[in-house]
Structure 1
Amino acid sequence: MSDSNVEKSNQNPLPEAMQRVRDKVLRAIAELEPAGSPRSAAEPKGLFFSSRTNGGRDLPPYYLVYFLLVDLLQFPHMGRWEKSAWTVPVRYKGRLYGIEHRKMGLGIFAPNFDPGARTGTSPSEEAEADARAIALLVKKGVSAAEAYFEWRAEQVVNGGNLNVVNRSEPLFDRYMFFYARFKALSAEYELRKDERVIKKKTLQDGSELTTYAYPAQKVRAEARWNAQAAIEAFFSWTEHVFIHLGILQGTLRSGKDVADLAAADWKTKFKAALDVQDAVTHGHYEKMLDLRSQIRNFMAHGAFGKQGEAFSFHSGAGAVPVVLTQNSKQRYSFTGQLAFDESAALMDIEVFLTHLWSGSRSPARLYIDSGLPSILTCVIDGTYTRAMRSDTEMQEFVDELGSQFDRAGDMDW
């Protein structure tokens, strides 16, 4: 730690309301202060050979600590060095410590002031007690700064300096899992559909009771359940992937754009990702929308029936279903949409998936399947536009960006 190694944060003056929050936080952590300039020649070396305390393992998430100490309170900090993202030198009761985000996580580190030290050493009991006290103060500060975090989050979302988390792979894997189970159970049903289990039992009066069981019916039911789960999982995945497609194609440019689309309905998300003016795309849109209204509304609204049937009454014709319609002016009817076949529905989904990743959207699949987050600054500066020109250009971009993320994850600066 030396004055030349310490960075100071640059920030515009806070609004009056946030200044009051800052004052409140300072009162909450009054015993914790910026370290300031070294008070002895031993301090810089001692902090360099510091050791992680057990008492400092109970800190809030690293980003809250950083925004508390560096962003809000403007504590001077040291930037990146090997296997370390940042260090905030602090003093508690005049004693020096480092709050540091290392590769193995955030912690409070106690200096080693041994003149001959070449590495860290086990922290003293005093250092452990201090670390517990510092962690408690930081937690109090984070709690007091909640309004500031909300204000800063809104500032960030309204800009373009954001990464959007990409969870496409696990969501799609869920769809594939249920789809594979459906196919396996359907095949088993075909093999066992003629299987019949006959049991005979003699009753007390000497008469004989014969029962029949058809095990394949349970297999068939399980196949249908897995098909319905697969369709549910597919639509869950589309809600996510359409947003990333919108970003990669330049439709979404800010955090607010993403947040607004995330809150919108499925139809709006589809139209942000695909051009429904295209005849082929429009055909898929109508099929998927119809399927969604049947299976998802059926599953989400009490499973009263895939056609909306919720009641029945007896008549000269026999039992008659009464349908709950989607029409607010006429809620009931004898007629509804045709019931769908799960197998046909899943085939329609597979055909749609082929269309989704065709043509100009093909490069997007390479990016989304990589698991990398969507980066809004890459929309603004045209990086995605260039990468979306071909599969080759996108693959080169994905490889380079993936390497950058790997190096950052290893804190290999």
Structure 2
Amino acid sequence: MNSEQIETVRTRAQKAISPLEPADFSMRAPKGFLFNAKRTDAGRTLPPYYLVYFLLVDLLGFTNLGQFEKVAWSVPVEYDGRPFLVEHRKFGLGVFAANVPEDEEAAAEIVRLIHKATKAAQPYFDWRAEQAAKASQLNVVNRSPDLFERLNFYLDLYDDRQQQAEGRKDERIVNHLSDMSYTVAFPAVELNREAKWLGLSAIECFFSWTEHVFIHIAILRGNCATGEDVTKLAKAEWAEKFKAALDITDPTTKQFYDQLAIVRRQLRNFVAHGAFGKDGEAFHFHSKAGAVPMLLPHPRDRAALKFGQGVDFVAAEAIALIRDFIDHLWSGSLEPAKIHIQDFGLPLNLTKVVNGDYARAMASVDAMESYADYQVHLNDRYANMDF
């Protein structure tokens, strides 16, 4: 977006927001207005705070009075000859007036004009986002703790069904229908089937979690430093994310990589594609021996898949592999990463990659604990707007 295009958008936004104007500091305002203005109900329906800031301050050049106690930014405006404040305070963005509820009608009109101008300024917002994505002044949301909790939820259910099935493996329930007929039920059979379903769900959750957490580890290791880097990795295959997060030249890590790749290919991809898979898993071909499952060898690993293997897997083996890998993931040089990502659940700040903060914090567990504690303190301060 060039300067001429920005000016065109600015003109449209100014037209849309008129007659709302920046406050003329020569106008008379009630004594103590900046500190005593009250929140209006109408102001609760403003667009998101960042859009309002970009519109008023960045694009239209309204004055920002700066930060105060419990106030992130404050923009004085004038409407119908009266002063108002558009402020982002601790309890949210709002329009603040000297006389409430008398000024509610005017505040509602201010909100309407800001909404109208926000729509007109959308190309500018898009351009700002594109520019930000190319740089490192970005935070990356961390959903790893929630995704990991979901994984553990299914693992616990899987363990429970497995234990119940083992405990009732010799049990049978006979239901006499009449003197000549009866049915027999084996509870362990149903419990094992439920365990298999839960195992599948746990494996799905595992790959969902690793798709996310690998990106965060890659950032902490310095392998992603810009929004474009993160976007590219997010779109990449699971294998590429694994390699960005872990060093597969390590023999143990490489062994986990190979085994998990097989689980993903044989099991998760099969389930994800409507139980048809990609290699003929849904077919049985005719032969004199009878129907034969057509599970073709995978082109990249011809020893991995053969007739009748891969789909009717043993869930316990895959679950054990997942658990062993999680222990391996958070060991050694990546132990500090667990503190930041899983234990504290902190978002990732790409500027910390560029300035070396993450490299220093990843040097040891103690360094990361100290760094994470400080970040939590800062986050609390900003959340409370203790400026």
Deviation at 1:138, TM superposition (A): 1.2
Deviation at 1:412, TM superposition (A): 0.9
C-alpha contact (below 8 Å) 2:295/2:309 kept by paired residues: no
Partner residue, 2:150: 174
d(CA) in 2 for partners of 1:36, 1:256: 42
Decide which moves more: 338-347 or 278-287.
Answer: 338-347
**Where do 5+ consecutive residues of structure 1 fail to align?**
1-12, 113-122
Deviation at 1:338, TM superposition (A): 3.5
C-alpha contact (below 8 Å) 1:387/1:397 kept by paired residues: yes
1:341 aligns with 2:341: no
Partner residue, 1:115: none
Deviation at 1:367, TM superposition (A): 1.0
One of 218, 222, 246 as aligned partner of 1:246? 218
d(CA) in 2 for partners of 1:251, 1:306: 32
1:282 aligns with 2:254: yes
In structure 2, do the counterparts of structure 1 residues 67 and 336 end up closer, same or farther at CA, with 3 Å as the change threshold?
farther
Give the structure-2-normalised TM-score: 0.93
C-alpha contact (below 8 Å) 2:279/2:298 kept by paired residues: no
Deviation at 1:323, TM superposition (A): 3.1
Partner residue, 2:170: 194
C-alpha contact (below 8 Å) 1:185/1:220 kept by paired residues: yes
| Aligned partner of residue 323 in structure 2, secondary structure | helix
Greater fraction strand: 1
d(CA) in 2 for partners of 1:30, 1:16: 21
In structure 2, do the counterparts of structure 1 residues 214 and 188 end up closer, same or farther at CA, with 3 Å as the change threshold?
same
1:384 aligns with 2:380: no
1:119-138 matches, cutoff 5 A: 123-125=100-102, 127-138=103-114
Partner residue, 2:238: 266
| Aligned partner of residue 27 in structure 2, secondary structure | coil
Partner residue, 2:36: 49
Cα deviation code 1:261-295 (max 9, x no counterpart): 11111111111111112222111110111111122
Partner residue, 1:373: 347
| Aligned partner of residue 309 in structure 1, secondary structure | coil
Deviation at 1:147, TM superposition (A): 1.1
| Aligned partner of residue 323 in structure 1, secondary structure | coil
Decide which moves more: 299-308 or 142-151.
Answer: 299-308
Cα deviation code 1:60-87 (max 9, x no counterpart): 1111111111121111112111111111
| Aligned partner of residue 276 in structure 2, secondary structure | coil
Deviation at 1:211, TM superposition (A): 1.8
1:21 aligns with 2:5: no
In structure 2, do the counterparts of structure 1 residues 336 and 151 end up closer, same or farther at CA, with 3 Å as the change threshold?
farther
1:410 aligns with 2:384: yes
Partner residue, 2:184: 212
Matched letter for residue 316 of structure 2: S
1:35-46 matches, cutoff 5 A: 35-40=23-28, 42-43=29-30, 45-46=32-33
1:73 aligns with 2:60: yes
Partner residue, 2:22: 34
Matched letter for residue 195 of structure 1: E
